[in-house]
Amino acid sequence: MDAPPAARAAMLNGPANNRNRCWTQSTLYLDPTKNLSAQLTGRDRRTGPGSRDEVQHPAGPSPVHHRLVQSTTARPRAPEMAALLPLAIAVLLLLSAAAAARRASPPPPTASPLAPALFVIGDSTSDVGTNNYLGTLARADREPYGRDFDTHRPTGRFSNGRIPVDYLAEKLGLPFVPPYLEQNMRSGAGGLTNISGMVQGVNYASAAAGIISSSGSDLGMHVSLTQQVQQVEDTYEQLSLALGEVAAADLFSRSVFFVSIGSNDFIHYYLRNVSGVQTRYLPWEFNRLLVNTMRQEIKNLYNINVRKVILMGLPPVGCAPHFLEEYGSQNGECIDYINNIVIEFNYALRYMSNEFIRQYPDSMITYCDTFEGSVDILNNRDLYGFVTTTDACCGLGKYGGLIMCVLPQMACSNASTHVWWDEFHPTDAVNRILADNVWSGQHTQMCHPLNLQDMVKPRK
């Protein structure tokens, strides 16, 4: 059941301390006397019959569950960054003005785009500059990031060049989607919103963000999934005021919403055993919590007339150079313990998306298996022209996974021969392949039940 109009208006136009919670991120400490799930996910809502966001639980653990419970290999070393965090954030904030000026130069839109707009929700896999405006270590507004981008300058994208949403925007005939916080900065006096900069899409994605609100807080500020959905709701309200509610509803129903988030809930939360989460949740139980929260937020989007959603699964996180280094991989073997958890999450996410479509037949949710598409690249590197599938182009230590990419001198000369750009993120070359798969399944059929090209194809 949807929220009554008065309640929804209060949510969209509530106090600033509710609407701007992205400025108050901190490490999460759990209160055992309160609802644990609500504390983890950041939305303390009633769930169940008659509530705004009734949670649908998957039928049960997938067959992978049994492997996960038995797979209890060595835990990683937890880096201690607390002492360096204040100084590092202070330095980054001094550079924010310069970083904000180095925006991407988008390609001109086509006369008749295949969708009116592209809205993006996610983490560093789809952040195009949100974190440039936040006090955080998770920023890509410095060289060598962006060296192979259209402008050959850093923009906030965690890659040497483009990321998947850039290629998808181009295929849709749309310009590159600007960050939501950048649009807010361009608002006129009196809080008037730059509507012209929003009608073709907004990117809300924030590096280090997770489905759980505090995932990634060890790096500083970020905008979590819940907060990003709240920003989407604010955008809908602003467009309704400017264009009229009928026009705003029509725009959202025909637009594409791209959602790519979840890795940080493992990288910065579960695998680090924050607040002893591993003693409270088995891997499959934790995945169920994440997917139920994801469903809740998809339903919130549905309530504001979002119908076309690209839901990205997680990549093989256990193959990232960071974890090859941290878990002591001898010859570049992926960490099965981590990848098994990711497979479990993807299984539950796909199940949830199928069930959502059954419950809401007018929704068009497509699940895209990033894991499958990435493994195809790793297993067929020669076919795709890659020389190495284990070593990051930019980094230090074995596999380049010891520390993050911070200096141009740390980067290789030709990123196109590498699968990994830094310790966690793929190169532009990989992003192009994955985008091609999301669009049409050109290399691997990643998306189910249909590709993005079929989703936006005009219906006769």
Task: List residues bridging with 136 in a β-sheet.
Answer: 220
**11-15: long-range contacts (C-beta < 8 A, 24 or more apart)?**
11/230, 11/233, 12/233, 12/234, 12/236, 12/237, 13/237
Nearest to 362 by CA among 448, 254, 228: 254
Q: Is 422 a catalytic residue?
A: yes
**Active-site hit among 53, 62, 124, 376:** 124
| C-alpha 300 chain-centroid distance | 17
**Active-site hit among 265, 422, 428, 436:** 422
Q: Which residues of 433-456 are buried (b: 16+ CB within 10 A; e: fewer)?
A: bbbbbbbebebbebbeeebbbebb
Asked if 419 and 389 touch (Cβ cutoff 8 Å), the reply is yes
Rounded to whole angstroms, how far apart are CA atoms 307 and 13? 23
Rounded to whole angstroms, how far apart are CA atoms 143 and 130? 17
> Exposure of 130 by Cβ count < 10 A (0-12 exposed, 13-18 middle, 19+ buried)?
buried
Rounded to whole angstroms, how far apart are CA atoms 49 and 54? 6
Q: Is 234 a catalytic residue?
A: no
Rounded to whole angstroms, how far apart are CA atoms 312 and 372? 11
Q: Is 425 a catalytic residue?
A: yes
**Active-site hit among 166, 206, 425, 428:** 425
- What is the total residue count of the chain? 460
Catalytic site residues?
124, 422, 425
